[in-house]
Amino acid sequence: MDVISIKGAGAAELKPLLTNWSLTDSEGMQADRLTLTFSGSESQDHIPASGTEWSVTVDGEHRGVFQISAISEQLHPAKLVVQLTPAKFSVEDKSGFKEPRRRTFPPATVLDVVKAVMEPHGYEVRVSPELASKPTDHLNQNEETDSAFIARLASKHDAIAKPIDHMYVFGKRGSLSTLSGNAQRSVTINLQDVQKNTAKIAHPSNVRFKGIKAEWQTPETGNSGTEIIGTEPYYRIREVFKNADEATQRAEAKLAEFNRKGQKFTATLNGKQGLFAESVMNLEGFHSPRSKGNWSIETVTLSGTRTAYTIQVEATRPT
């Protein structure tokens, strides 16, 4: 029985020739990635068009709608490797998604800026409510692609921005699934799910920053100062900000980032349903008391053949 299903123009001809595949689902900035390898000379007789949309299901679970972004042919032995991404893509790139731009944005809100940048590419934009009305200062896009510019804006708010299916979502970690219309999942992992010698918990260094210092200086007035968030030991941000509000905002985001980076769980699992980035994961049956409690999945990489697959998972939680 096939564990992976691909549907779309040209997929039916290639599906019987599929030998290997890999799908990475991450809560990070990078768009999800799917690679399909088709073997045999016949595969090179059915090369799909760039930008073609394929809907992908693994083990009965919908994993998203992807667009073909790159194709390569191996001549001997004959193979066809197709790479797909949820990002809007076409060879012509009529909307200029991959084009570096130089432009400015007047003071507005996070929602205004994300919409202004991403809606022209055909995305439905969704921004989490706690960030949508956040004010933005005068912003400069300096020879950056639109996705790089929005990623930089997201980092200022300790947020994530990425395409999911036909949407572009911008929100705090843990909120992207909800923004995209998917319910946040919970899954239990036990000893039988884990391949031997792969499950590990990494503990952070004892030296952890508990506070942030951020300097600011306003050129028009000459006023300057240092905003301090949290307690010792402090981490000092190298960038000098334009005013106290911006310095405070960045310091709060940086401290939130440090607080998120605690224990990390990694493992290779047998094929199992329910594992998505941002899912809540519980471990059962392990001896270590540190395994207990909720873990937040950051990245899952599914890979396999037509009939079997494994999952590499990375999950974290604060200490």
Please tell me the predicted confidence (pLDDT) of residue 305: 95
Neighbours of 292 (CB within 10 A): 11
Higher pLDDT, 95 or 81: 81
Instruction: Spell out the domain ranges in the chain.
Output: 4-85, 100-180, 187-201+264-316, 211-261
Euclidean distance between CA atoms 60 and 229, whole angstroms:
47
Class of the CATH domain delimited by 100-180: alpha beta
Summarize pLDDT for 183-206 with one digit per residue, the tens. 667 899 999 999 999 999 998 765
pLDDT for 91: 46
Share of the chain above pLDDT 70, in %: 90
**Does 280 score more than 70 pLDDT?**
yes
pTM, two decimal places: 0.74
pLDDT digit string, tens, across residues 70-84: 999 999 999 999 999
Q: What is the mean pLDDT of the chain?
A: 87
Per-residue pLDDT at 301:
96
Whether residue 133 is predicted with pLDDT greater than 80 in this model: the reply is yes
* Interval 171-180 mean pLDDT: 72
Bridge partners for 64 per DSSP: 56
